[in-house]
């Protein structure tokens, strides 16, 4: 899909596959624009065809014509910007992928909190002249490092949110677990619910939400009796990887909440190493690798193993 930014407008060259579609079909069926945003686009004449505002239901588009949507209008900042260095993995006009460090919350839980990844990205936006609040597509636990996907405008967050709901955004993690995992690959399909006896902990529970985790062995470290594994989720439940691995007898290193032994890092050994998805506007495949750094228990070579398997 051929697209470009023109000031506050996104311009799309109509592809052959949209030939004869109405503007309304493109907005509702191809892009799944939510109702509230549809209403805004329509009433404020934020969609044009060849530079002219047209009737959505009556106007059909032809290949090569230009559709413009005003998605980059300035928006009030709803979070306090904080100067914190961030590791940008991928960026374009619509999206930002940031490598979250261990020990940082993804977003504020209190209005006065200003040391989260969202606060840091807000500052990054401000310094780069982008007037909008960061919109995270998914979250990571405070003590899980790795790639977090942000959208830069309302249409992008709506489209990426739909992809996430349909499980079209592939998130790949690496983890160190205790022992030599057997079998070397498998799928855990067990529902997860809250633990009635603990405010934070989750547990496998037949009354919980469905959850599926696939894993495979990347490397066994005999000196530490620990397995480095690759994990992929077909759902995104709270603490899903930690609960499932503990359930089958291989808790994450350092994950004391779920039966893991205490280690020097003081937290679970889990890293969101890779994001893969289809770009909502260009329709190109985007793959992002988040390399661990600093004092992380993981090394870049651990992430590179994903590309070799």
Q: Compute the distance between CA of residue 87 and CA of residue 176 in angstroms, rounded to an integer.
A: 23
Given the residues 85, 92, 93, 141, select the one marked as catalytic: 141
Three-state SS string across the chain, please?
Answer: CCEEEECCEEEEECCHHHCCCEHHHHHHHHCCCCHHHHHHHHHCCCEEECCECCCCCCCECCCCCEEEEECCCCCCCCCCCCCCCCEEEEECCCEEEEEECCCCCCCCCCCCCCCCHHHHHHHHHHHCCCCCCCEECCCCCCCCEEEEEEECCHHHHHHHHHHHHCCCCEEEEEEEEECCCCCCEEEEECCEEECCCCCCCEEECCCCECCEEEEEEEEEECCCCEEEEEEEECCCCCCHHHHHHHHCCCCECCCHHHCCCCCCCCCCCEEEEEEEEECCCCCCEEEEECCCCCCCCCCHHHHHHHHHC
Report residue 166 CA to chain centroid gap: 13
**Is the Cβ–Cβ distance between 59 and 22 less than 8 Å?**
yes
Determine the CATH number of domain 171-271: 3.30.2350.10
Cα four-point dihedral sign 147, 153, 158, 160: negative
pLDDT confidence of residue 187: 97
Same fold, 3-70 and 171-271: no
Distance CA 247, CA 27 (A): 44
> What is the rounded distance in angstroms from the CA atom of residue 52 to the CA atom of residue 72?
18
pTM of the full predicted structure? Answer: 0.92
Phi, psi of 212 (to 5 degrees): -135, 125
Q: What pLDDT shows up at residue 309?
A: 64
Q: Show me where the domains of the chain are located.
A: 3-70, 171-271
What is the chain's pLDDT, residue by residue, as a tens digit (309 residues)? 899 999 999 999 999 999 999 999 999 999 999 999 999 999 999 999 999 999 999 999 999 999 999 999 999 888 999 999 999 999 999 999 999 999 999 999 888 889 999 999 999 999 999 999 999 999 999 999 999 999 999 999 999 999 998 889 999 999 999 999 999 999 999 999 999 888 889 999 999 999 999 999 999 999 989 999 999 998 888 899 999 999 999 999 999 999 887 775 668 999 999 999 999 999 999 999 999 877 678 988 989 988 876
pLDDT score at 216: 97
Clarify whether 92 is annotated catalytic. Answer: no
pLDDT at site 94: 96
Q: Both ends of the chain: CA-CA distance in Å?
A: 31
The superfamily (CATH) of domain 3-70 is RNA-binding S4 domain (3.10.290.10)
pLDDT for the residue numbered 185? 95
């Amino acid at each position: 899909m051929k697209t470009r930014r023109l000031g506050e407008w996104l311009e799309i060259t109509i592809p052959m596959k949209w030939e004869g579609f109405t503007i309304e079909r493109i907005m509702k069926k191809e892009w799944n624009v939510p109702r509230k945003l549809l209403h805004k686009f329509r009433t404020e004449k934020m969609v044009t065809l060849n530079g002219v505002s047209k009737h959505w239901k009556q106007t059909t588009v032809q290949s090569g014509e230009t559709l413009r949507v005003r998605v980059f209008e300035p928006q009030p900042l709803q979070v306090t910007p904080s100067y914190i260095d961030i590791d940008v993995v991928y960026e374009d006009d619509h999206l930002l992928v940031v490598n979250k460090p261990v020990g940082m919350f993804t977003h504020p839980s209190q209005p006065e909190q200003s040391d989260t990844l969202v606060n840091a990205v807000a500052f990054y936006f401000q310094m780069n002249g982008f007037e909008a609040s960061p919109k995270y597509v998914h979250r990571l636990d405070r003590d899980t490092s790795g790639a977090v996907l942000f959208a830069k405008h309302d249409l992008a967050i709506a489209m990426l949110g739909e992809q996430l709901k349909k499980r079209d955004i592939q998130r790949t993690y690496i983890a160190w677990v205790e022992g030599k995992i057997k079998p070397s690959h498998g799928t855990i399909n067990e529902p997860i619910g809250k633990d009635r006896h603990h405010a934070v902990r989750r547990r496998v529970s037949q009354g919980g939400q469905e959850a599926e985790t696939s894993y495979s062995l990347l490397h066994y470290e005999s000196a530490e009796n620990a397995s480095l594994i690759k994990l992929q989720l077909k759902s995104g439940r709270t603490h899903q990887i930690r609960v499932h691995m503990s359930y089958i007898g291989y808790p994450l290193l350092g994950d004391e909440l779920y039966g893991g032994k205490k280690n020097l890092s003081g937290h679970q050994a889990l890293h969101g190493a890779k994001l893969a998805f289809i770009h909502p506007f260009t329709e190109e495949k985007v793959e992002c690798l988040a390399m661990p750094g600093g004092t992380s228990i993981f090394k870049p070579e651990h992430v590179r193993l994903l590309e070799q398997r």
